Structure 1
Amino acid sequence: MAAHRESNMVKIITACSMLALLAVTPSFATTKPISSIAAIVNDEVITTADVDKEYTQLQKEAEKLPVPERTATRSTALNRLVDRKLVEQKIRELDIKVSDEDVRLAIEDVKKQNNLTQEALEQALAGQGLTVLQYKVQLKEQLERMRLMSQEVRSKIQVGEREISEYYEAHRADYGGSETFHARHIFFKLDPNGSAEQTAKTRKLAEEVLAKARSGENFVDLAKKYSQDPAAAKNGGDLGTFKKSDMLAEIGNTVAAMKPGEVSSLVASPAGLHIIKLEEKSQEKGRPFTEVKESIEEQLYRKKSEDRFNQWVKDLRNAASIDIKQP
């Protein structure tokens, strides 16, 4: 299972969490240093040149996001480098190794999944400004991190049957199992061009009828007597069976929050005022649990992994010696 997840996570595109591959080479043409220290993480240095490179990458990633989410700062870039450095140090501490054969098999897996020949892979990498050798270094680092994740995070995560079942029941609509409602209403029309006096008179009547409905008077009889929706009134205000999205948003949202037998407060819509009684609520079957169980388990597992990994990195930070010199 872990090996399967490991191979599936290998991507041709450089992952955002990869370390910068190319070391900064000092220039001997000038006596000025090309970079200064941005941070020291457990006695290991992150330079401002490292931050510059990460910041550039962050800006490229931000360009692909919706405008409101395009936030790229040097502080964010530095924090990513600090987290990456801590993970790198943990890999060395735990002596996690990835062999050349592991990398070769990962490349073969990438080629197979993307239906690529060796030549096509090299062309795809060249399009990203990478050589095969650089890509192998990236894959090795990525596999090391995945093994660290498996050892320190994923091995400690469990997703139980009950948890999967509860998620399925709470998200049936996501699997084609929409809720349906059978309801009645008593409608009071409000003229948008009417006077304040007319509006107040209509609202007062609606409140009086609402009090009658909530005191136990027969809703069907009240609808026939008072409702100004002629088509529904003759059938006791019957709206039939419908999905939430089939109705005005004001009515759909109201019935979705009600229990069968319950009478709503006055509901205002663009047409007027409604008193709604929910007769029945039911759930369409949709895709069966057995069909979606595996995908739900994977989704819950992934979410737990992300949450636990983020907490794990926070714990690493708390235990580390981190000296931020400049963003």
Structure 2
Amino acid sequence: MPVHLNPVSRTIVSVTFGLLISLLWFRPAPSAFSATQLEDRIVAVVNTDLIMQSDVRRELAPEQERIRQQYHGEELGQRLKTAEYMALTKMIERRLQLQEAKAKSVDVSDQEVKQAIQQMKQQGEKIDEKDPLSVRNVRDQLALLKVVDREVRSGVMVGDTEMKRYYKEHQTRFALPEEYTLSQILIQPRSADGTAEALEKARIVMTELKRGEKFEDAALRYSDGPNASHGGRLGLVRQGELLPAIERAIAPLVPGGISEIVETSEGYHIVRVDERTPKQFRPFDEVKFEIQSLVFQQKSEDVFQSWLVDLKNKAYIEIKF
């Protein structure tokens, strides 16, 4: 039974997509049902536009091929049904936006279409300039971009207060890597069979450190590291530059703290944290324009979704799926 979606009933298709998803233009593709040629029929009415079964098959073909390769049996059928519904929903949303572009007298010149096709080719896209459907798709895509720019993004403003609030609420996003000044004692196996001997040596060193041996002296006597003659001092190291096992071992240490023995592909490490710089953050003025872009995108998406819902509420949509 057909489902009527109009301003009276307000029963509209509920699935919506993000700004970029809704703007994706569909490309001509071989029918996914070539083995069983179905008679074409109307599957949806969007105000004065008709969406045909062949349109949905063409829209769905690339995704359907991916699903058939990935799923089987009952799940395959469910996935295909969901994909078909989502494809139709996306097409309805696109038709509504194109209708709005026409109502707002959004114009796309032939020159703009040619320039867009050239840019797409430069980016590796394969497009046939002689194919009317391909050219129309490019023209529609440009119209969608223009109408969204005019009806959505042009009215989005980002104030200083909003940016500062975003900075405060997402401060960890702007954290600088933590910095350490470290020293280490590295015990390396003398041969492929010397792992146990190296570990025993590392344990002896650890025992001496716990008894009060100065770290620098122990490094000078035992360490195989290149900085042994300098008391094992590694200098300034940033978070993320260390081997993961060492990073984890020193994470809870305060300045002066010594790690337990840490095994890595290089051997056995005993690491001391000499200094530790408290976590710092990039200042607001440094990230202001980055935040402005993030907040603008977020607000644009919110406004876009509201605009799309409004288009649906004002439209006559009938689904004959």
With the length of structure 2 as denominator, give the TM-score of the two structures: 0.54
Deviation sequence 1:97-122 (CA, Å, 0-9, x none): 655653248x8888899999xxxxxx
The structure 1 residue matched to 2:59, chosen from 54, 58, 65, is 54
Work out which of the residue numbers 67, 73, 78 in structure 1 matches 2:84. 78
Distance 2:57 2:182 in 1: 61
Give CA deviations for 1:66-85 in whole Å, capped at 9, x if unaligned. xx9xxxx7456424324325
Contact 2:219 2:229 survives alignment (8 Å): yes
The one-letter code matched in structure 1 to 2:142 is L
SS in 2 for 1:229: coil
Is 1:272 equivalent to 2:272 in the alignment?
Answer: no
CA separation in 1, counterparts of 2:252 and 2:192? 32
Q: For residue 180 of structure 2, what is the aligned residue in structure 1?
A: 181
- State which of 160, 163, 174 in structure 2 corresponds to 1:160: 163
* SS of the residue 2:200 aligns to: helix
Amino acid at match of 1:277: R
Shift of 1:277: 1.8
SS in 2 for 1:126: coil
Structure 1 residues 134, 18: closer, same or farther in 2, change over 3 A?
closer
Distance in structure 1 (CA, Å) of the matches to 2:270 and 2:232: 10
Q: CA deviation at 1:53?
A: 0.5
**Whole-Å separation in 2 of the counterparts to 1:268 and 1:220:** 19
**What is the Cα deviation at residue 184 of structure 1?**
0.9
CA-to-partner distance for each residue in 1:241-261, whole Å, 9 max, x for gaps?
234566555445655776544
How far apart, in 1, do the equivalents of 2:199 and 2:134 lie? 76
2:24 match: 17
Structure 2 counterpart of 1:235: 230
Rounded to whole Å, the distance in 2 between the matches of 1:263 and 1:129 is: 72
* CA RMSD of superposed structures (Å): 5.9
Equivalent residue letter for 1:17: L
1:87 aligns with 2:93: yes
Q: 2:129 aligns with which of 107, 126, 130?
A: 126
- Asked if the contact 1:186/1:227 (under 8 Å) is kept, the reply is yes
Is the CA contact (8 Å cut-off) linking 2:227 and 2:234 kept in structure 1? yes
- Are 2:56 and 2:88, in contact at CA under 8 Å, matched by a contact in 1? no
- CA drift of 1:182 comes to 1.3
- Note if contact 2:215-2:231 (Cα within 8 Å) is conserved in structure 1: yes
Change in 2 beyond 3 A, CA 1:129/1:288: farther
Residues 1:139 and 2:142 are matched in the alignment: yes
Percent identity of equivalent pairs: 20
- Structure 2 CA distance, aligned partners of 1:160 and 1:191? 57
Q: Which residue of 2 aligns with 1:193?
A: 192
1:3 maps to none
- Worse-superposed segment, 231-240 or 200-209: 200-209
Query: What amino acid is aligned across from residue 237 of structure 2 in structure 1?
Result: F
* Change beyond 3 A, Cα 1:100–1:40: closer
Which of 281, 288, 291 lines up with 1:293 in the alignment?
288
Whether the 8 Å CA contact 1:159–1:301 is kept in 2: the answer is: no
Tell me, what secondary structure is at the counterpart of 1:264?
coil
Q: SS at 1:187's partner residue?
A: strand
Counterpart CA distance in 2 for 1:169 and 1:188 is: 37
Cα contact 2:184–2:270 (8 A) shared by 1 = yes
- Whether the aligned pair in 2 keeps the contact of 1:96 and 1:148 (CA below 8 Å) is no
Q: Do the aligned residues in 2 keep the contact of 1:182 with 1:242 (CA within 8 Å)?
A: yes
- Determine the C-alpha separation between the residues in 2 that align with 1:39 and 1:133: 21
Deviation (angstroms), 1:298: 0.8
Partner deviation per Cα, 1:161-193 (whole Å, 9 max, x = no partner)? 1423675764456xxxx6543101122333453
Deviations 1:234-282 (A, max 9, x none): 4332112234566555445655776544433322122221121222344
Is there any run of 5+ residues in structure 2 with no aligned partner, and where? 1-18, 32-36, 71-78, 120-126
Asked if 1:34 is matched to 2:39, the reply is: yes
Matched, 1:208 2:207: yes
Shift of 1:131: 7.1
Unaligned runs of 5+ in 1: 1-9, 25-31, 63-67, 117-123
- The alpha-carbon deviation at position 156 of structure 1 amounts to 11
Query: Secondary structure in 2 aligned to 1:103?
Result: coil
